[in-house]
Amino acid sequence: MARRLRARAALTALLLTALGTVSAPPAAHADGGRCAFPAENIEERPWALQRVLLDRLWQESRGEGVSVAVIDTGVDTAHPQLAGAVDAARGADFTDAEGDQTTDTVGHGTKVAGIIAARPHDDTGFVGLAPDATIVPIRQNDADGSGSVATLADAIDHAVGAGVDIINISQDSDAAPGDDSELARAVNAALDADIVVIASVGNDGADGERRLTYPAAYDGVLAVAASDRNNERAPFSQSGDFVGIAAPGVDMVSTVPLGGQCVDSGTSFAAPYVAGVAALLRAEQPEWTAEQIVTHLKQTAERAQPGPDADLGWGVVDPVRALTRDTAPPGPTPVPDPPAPAAPAPDVEPLDLGETHAERAERLGTFVILTATLLTAALAGTALIIRDHRHRNGLASMRSDRHKMGSPR
């Protein structure tokens, strides 16, 4: 039996078999209820978009001319925000389910596509990060979990043949297919065709165990973890040294079949967030290779440490920074940030620790000498005054006696 793949959505995924078949994740309203198709429009701007200066971002690029293959459960073109965003003719259907690549009974693929390229609409604050990019829908999975490693390889091959610029894969398997498998061959073919391959890392991180997931763990694939509002790893997001970058993946608003929006969480929705930024960057820098696009996204990500870690990779993707900073072609790999310069030594006033015993004795001795000197001077001055007073009195007495002696009798 073919190995199954999981299209994971944290907190909503249905574990269908021990082999990890595709979950048919029921979307959730913002209030936590089930999401019916169609859904109501969410008027507010989602938090994952509030953190981005969209007007500033779209001054640089809107993703025009860039095509993104969404290998998933199909993309519903009946949604008003996706009707003009999907090139169904370039897509394909690798399932046995009713309908075609524009049929999405699960809603997973439609949400992924919306995060990338949903067009603006007056009834909602939600919009895709690359609203002028084109979605190429490839249905490889469905509500019955019919997707396998073999059909995923076929879907990647089709995307390469369709000439897409970016491939988004929001599903994974924790059973290693092997470097010589059809999946590894297909991934390498996409990389050789200069396609940016982006994959979610999976949602089994709550137990703290690090495990490789595929195709995210293949060399050259940009493995995307989920972050929360505080730019920290979402509790469900898989950790590991293969994690390349992170993006918002908690309480993500996006389009659902037939219209409206719902809220869901998972690395499945962090990956298309990065794919949307990659589409903007490919449109702005058409001469850059796929490898350079990936390097630049990592280099400009927001991080708390100089280099990568196992939770968030090189950090949380920063859309505006990616499009406005260091526009020279990057090297093949990102480099850690230089250490912060050392702060200058503070100018500290000397601390008065008080007198020592010797200093106090010296001060007292000086005081005694000074006092004695002043007292001696005072006594000498007093004696001089008394002597002068007596001298004056003596002269006066002599004058009086002479006067008396010279008087006639």
C-alpha pair distances (Å), 214 with each of 4, 138, 202, 275: 12, 18, 9, 17
3-state secondary structure of 131: coil
Instruction: Given the residues 72, 76, 132, 142, select the one marked as catalytic.
Output: 72
Residues 292 and 295: their CA atoms lie apart, in Å, by 5
Can 122 be counted among the known catalytic residues? no
DSSP H helical ranges for 285-405: 290-299, 319-324, 357-405
Cβ count within 10 A of residue 81: 26
Cβ count within 10 A of residue 178: 11
Residues 10 and 150: their CA atoms lie apart, in Å, by 25
Q: Are 316 and 231 in contact (CB under 8 A)?
A: yes
Can 72 be counted among the known catalytic residues? yes
Contacts of 172 (CB under 8 A, 6+ apart): 5, 6, 8, 199, 200, 201, 202, 213, 214, 215, 216
DSSP-assigned states of every residue in 368-389: HHHHHHHHHHHHHHHHHHHHHH
Residues 26 and 106: their CA atoms lie apart, in Å, by 7
Can 108 be counted among the known catalytic residues? yes
Residues 118 and 127: their CA atoms lie apart, in Å, by 5
Instruction: Given the residues 67, 79, 268, 296, select the one marked as catalytic.
Output: 268
Cβ count within 10 A of residue 182: 17
DSSP H helical ranges for 84-234: 108-117, 149-161, 182-192
Looking at the chain, how many residues does it have?
409
Q: Are 307 and 337 in contact (CB under 8 A)?
A: yes
Host H or E run for residue 60:
helix 54-60
Instruction: Given the residues 23, 79, 108, 296, select the one marked as catalytic.
Output: 108
3-state secondary structure of 184: helix
Residue corresponding to tokens 């897409």: 164
Q: Are 222 and 247 in contact (CB under 8 A)?
A: no
Question: What are the residue numbers of the active site?
Answer: 72, 108, 268
